[in-house]
Chain A
Amino acid sequence: DVKVTQSSRYLVKRTGEKVFLECVQDMDHENMFWYRQDPGLGLRLIYFSYDVKMKEKGDIPEGYSVSREKKERFSLILESASTNQTSMYLCASSSTGNNQPQHFGDGTRLSIL
Chain B
Amino acid sequence: GENVEQHPSTLSVQEGDSAVIKCTYSDSASNYFPWYKQELGKRPQLIIDIRSNVGEKKDQRIAVTLNKTAKHFSLHITETQPEDSAVYFCAACISGSARQLTFGSGTQLTVLP
Binding site for B on A (CB under 8 A): 4, 31, 33, 35, 40-45, 48, 50, 56, 58-59, 90, 94, 98-107
Contacts and interface: CB of A to CB of B under 8 A. Distances in A.
A52 B53 CA distance: 33
Contacts of B28: none
Nearest to B6: A42
B105 A42 contact: yes
B9 interface: yes
Given A42-B103, A50-B98, 9 more contacts: A33-B99, A40-B105, A41-B105, A43-B103, A48-B99, A94-B100, A101-B46, A102-B101, A103-B46
Residue in B36, B99, B105 with the greatest tally of chain A CB atoms within 10 Å: B99
Contacts of B9: 40
A105 B36 CA distance: 13
Nearest to A96: B98
B105 A99 contact: no
Interface of B: 1, 6, 9, 31-32, 34, 36, 42-46, 49, 51, 89, 93, 95-96, 98-106
A42 B43 contact: no
B100 A104 contact: no
Nearest to B50: A99
Nearest to A4: B43
Nearest to B94: A98
A40 B36 CA distance: 16
Contacts of B36: 104
Contacts of A104: 36, 43-45
A106 to B, nearest CB: 5
A90 B44 contact: yes
A94 B103 CA distance: 15
